[in-house]
């Protein structure tokens, strides 16, 4: 089922055309901003072809927002002009279409193309890296092709993008930034450790990472150069060699290395070879690029407003497999969200055996018209979570049965709130009290030692605890009724709970598990408002003032806080979260820091104005602190914590095995302190002080 169809269903009316344009623009916006998309590659390509076909037949009805003829579908903007327009590629979807495109190019040239160059179409984000005198000075996204976003803050984490070229040239490298398979796995390991949601797939991970400016951790990406502004006289294959000699990473060292081909027969053979390698490559590709190799041919062919006329992308089908839908499971998340999951007959896709796939929500099931026993398309491209696409309705036997939606919560049997697309148990977090209590007691939240998974289950199942507030009402007599709970254990647990009662505001807020927030955002919110009472009093517009919270997230957080009001009242009655600090509304200051700043802004202290990176194993007074606690120490002392060394870093705390960060700091002349020296500097702000 991997063959791509080029059939296009005609759009029957102006209304259908307008709806198609709207869908395409939404999909393009998602794809080119955060790497996600409501449509698969095949679906988007088919939709765009249908739009183009309609516009060719009805040129007087073309809508101004139509994605046709626009770079990135006209979906994104930028504020830094490109020196030379940064265009997209036109697509072809079959060998026949490729042959037609090549014939058209040769007709335009009035002669045969001298040679072709074939290379993988990397599934990442196009960027432009500007160099002056061989030094990297700016990194931009493609944006709308005329202007892009400045993402220079992310350059240090992009492997293969040299800070200094081998020659002191003024030029602009162009290429793709992506997460390799290994980097994607490592990125999700790091994000999980920091309590962040794993990336859904490499492209969205790369898009989010390049734009992130507030992460307390570093995620590495990889750059592949495929062009340059300033070396335009070279043939393409020679250009790639020149880029590698300058120190830029190219695809030359990969199994899908660019290859110069004498004719279309060789081009076809190379496309087939790269396609066969697809599942074994260490990075994702969604096609193969075919280019006229000679610089003279490229200059003679020129470019249109959206794409060069001398290059085209031979798109590859997203791999689909057919299997049987055996059942639908209904799982309840920590916040009470009820999510359906498809249980499938095992099927191997891209070398991975798939037995489960996402169904998103009940409306998604209804929209796709799925039934138990259906033969269904399952889609998995690269590392994307498998999803059920559609049933093969014409293969139904009559033995298929309707999917039964739950009438009550599958976990607690209480009512379901089905007013939104994502169903939720009316008890919300109370439905998953064990998970909520375990999360709240975690080290980076309230850090309640002795309250692990087994103890949380005991407390909830015994009826002693139904939510976070109940923890602070526990008595020794109640705890002693639990199995394997002795006097010492009870005293220790109560002492840990009492310590948590006075936890810092950002830890208390994080322990609530408010959707749309995590540790970093909790610190920002706490620093911005200064008290839980002020947070509760904030409406959506006020919450949106916090750096990193947009209008949509602000509305979500506001609604969450409203639903948590009874719990917050009980916590306040127990003296939890009642600490008041001076609000630090300094988001503008934070925005001036490097791309990994944590928190909404600095407090006053010995590190005021400092951007601090901590690396290596801590010793001395810092040895007992987790990395999160060291970051909090930096903030208490007035500094901004960063995970990567850059020109904006002012202080490096270098513990044992500091490695490359110390070397880079030394090369940049950044002040370096040992953990003991740093502890002395911030002695008044140490936890024991």
Are the C-beta atoms of residues 259 and 270 closer than 8 Å to each other? yes
Q: Could you tell me how many residues make up the chain?
A: 689
CA distance 651 to 672: 6
Residue matched to tokens 């709207």: 22
CA distances in angstroms from 332 to 422, 427, 454, 457, 562, listed in the order given: 11, 11, 20, 16, 21
Residue matched to tokens 């093969």: 392
In the residue annotation, 315 being an active-site residue is answered as: no
Are the C-beta atoms of residues 250 and 275 closer than 8 Å to each other? no
Are the C-beta atoms of residues 327 and 355 closer than 8 Å to each other? no
Q: Return the number of other C-beta atoms located less than 10 Å from residue 256's C-beta.
A: 24
Residue 138's SS3 state is strand
Strand-by-strand arrangement of the 135-141 sheet: 135-141, 125-132, 171-178, 221-229, 158-159
Q: Provide the β-strand partners of residue 664.
A: none
Q: Which residues are within 8 A (CB) of 46 and not within 5 positions of it... i.e. 6 or more apart?
A: 5, 8, 9
CA distance 233 to 244: 17
Are the C-beta atoms of residues 670 and 651 closer than 8 Å to each other? yes
CA distance 561 to 555: 10
- Sequence-ordered alpha helix ranges (H) in 512-550: 519-529, 532-537, 540-543
Return the structure tokens found at 207: 């898009």
Task: Print burial letters for 3-15: b (CB count within 10 Å at least 16), e (below 16).
Answer: eeeeebeebeeee
* Closest to 546 measured CA to CA, from 583, 582, 503, 514: 583
What sign results for the dihedral spanned by CA atoms 499, 505, 509, 510? negative
Dihedral-angle region of residue 561 (phi above 0 means left; psi in -120 to 50 means alpha; beta otherwise) = alpha
Residue 549: phi and psi, rounded to 5, are: -110, 110
CA distance 662 to 651: 11
Residue 332: phi and psi, rounded to 5, are: -105, 120
List 121, 321, 640, 664, catalytic entry: 121
CA distance 255 to 180: 14
Return the structure tokens found at 151: 């993402």
CA distance 601 to 609: 10
**Residue 634 CA, distance from chain mean position:** 27
CA distance 464 to 471: 8
Q: Environment class of residue 231 by beta-carbon count within 10 Å: exposed (0-12), middle (13-18) or buried (19+)?
A: middle
DSSP state for residue 653 in the 8-state scheme:
E
- Active-site residue list: 121
């Amino acid at each position: 089922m991997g063959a791509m169809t080029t059939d296009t269903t005609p759009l029957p009316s102006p209304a259908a055309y307008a709806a198609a344009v709207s869908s395409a623009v939404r999909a393009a916006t998602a794809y080119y901003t955060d790497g996600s998309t409501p449509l698969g590659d095949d679906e988007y390509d088919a939709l765009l072809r249908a739009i183009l076909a309609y516009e060719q037949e009805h040129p007087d009805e073309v809508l101004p927002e139509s994605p046709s003829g626009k770079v990135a579908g006209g979906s994104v903007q930028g504020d830094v002009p490109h020196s030379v327009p940064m265009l997209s590629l036109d697509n072809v979807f079959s060998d026949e279409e490729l042959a037609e495109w090549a014939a058209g190019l040769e007709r335009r040239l009035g002669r045969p193309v001298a040679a072709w160059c074939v290379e993988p179409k990397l599934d990442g984000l196009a960027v432009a890296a500007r160099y002056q005198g061989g030094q990297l000075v700016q990194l931009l996204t493609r944006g709308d092709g005329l202007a892009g976003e400045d993402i220079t803050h992310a350059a240090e984490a992009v492997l293969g993008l040299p800070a200094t070229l081998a020659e002191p040239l003024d030029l602009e490298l162009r290429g793709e930034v992506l997460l390799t398979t290994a980097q994607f796995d490592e990125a999700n390991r790091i994000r999980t450790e920091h309590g962040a949601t794993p990336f859904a797939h490499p492209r969205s991970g790369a898009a989010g990472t390049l734009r992130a400016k507030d992460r307390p951790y570093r995620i590495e990406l990889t750059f592949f150069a495929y062009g340059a502004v300033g070396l335009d006289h070279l043939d393409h294959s020679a250009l790639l060699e020149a880029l590698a000699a300058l120190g830029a990473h190219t695809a030359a060292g990969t199994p899908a290395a660019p290859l110069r081909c004498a004719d279309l027969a060789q081009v076809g053979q190379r496309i087939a070879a790269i396609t066969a390698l697809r599942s074994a490559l260490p990075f994702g590709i969604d096609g193969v690029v075919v280019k006229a190799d000679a610089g003279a041919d490229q200059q003679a062919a020129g470019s249109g407003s959206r794409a060069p006329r001398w290059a085209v992308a031979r798109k590859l089908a997203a791999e689909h497999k057919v299997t049987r839908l055996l059942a639908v499971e209904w799982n309840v998340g920590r916040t009470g969200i009820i999510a359906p999951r498809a249980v499938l007959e095992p099927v191997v896709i891209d070398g991975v055996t798939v037995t489960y796939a996402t169904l998103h929500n009940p409306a998604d099931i209804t929209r796709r018209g799925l039934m138990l026993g259906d033969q269904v398309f399952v889609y998995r491209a690269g590392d994307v979570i498998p999803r059920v696409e559609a049933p093969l309705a014409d293969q139904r036997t009559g033995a298929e049965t309707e999917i039964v939606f739950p009438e009550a919560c599958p976990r607690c049997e209480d009512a379901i709130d089905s007013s939104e697309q994502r169903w939720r148990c009316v008890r919300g977090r109370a439905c998953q009290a064990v998970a909520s209590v375990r999360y709240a007691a975690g080290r980076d939240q309230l850090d309640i030692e002795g309250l692990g998974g087994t103890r949380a289950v005991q407390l909830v199942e015994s009826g002693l605890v139904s939510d976070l507030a109940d923890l602070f009402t526990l008595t020794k007599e109640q705890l002693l009724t639990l199995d394997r709970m002795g006097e010492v254990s009870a005293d220790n647990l109560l002492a840990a709970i009492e310590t948590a009662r006075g936890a810092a505001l950002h830890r208390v807020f994080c322990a609530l598990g408010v959707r749309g927030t995590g540790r970093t955002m909790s610190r920002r919110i706490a620093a911005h408002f200064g008290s839980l009472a002020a947070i509760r009093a904030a409406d959506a517009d006020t919450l949106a003032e916090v750096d990193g919270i947009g209008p949509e997230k602000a509305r979500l957080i506001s609604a969450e806080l409203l639903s948590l009001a009874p719990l917050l009242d009980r916590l306040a009655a127990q003296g939890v979260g009642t600490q008041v600090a001076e609000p630090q509304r300094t988001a503008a200051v934070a925005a001036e820091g490097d791309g990994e700043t944590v928190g909404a802004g600095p407090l006053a202290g010995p590190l005021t104005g400092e951007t601090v990176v901590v690396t290596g194993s801590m010793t001395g007074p810092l040895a007992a602190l987790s990395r999160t606690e060291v970051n909090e120490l930096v903030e208490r002392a007035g500094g901004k914590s960063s995970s990567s060394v850059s020109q904006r870093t002012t202080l490096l705390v270098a513990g044992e095995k500091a490695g490359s960060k110390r070397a880079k700091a030394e090369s940049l002349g950044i002040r370096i302190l040992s953990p003991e020296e740093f502890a002395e500097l911030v002695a008044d702000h140490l936890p024991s002080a």
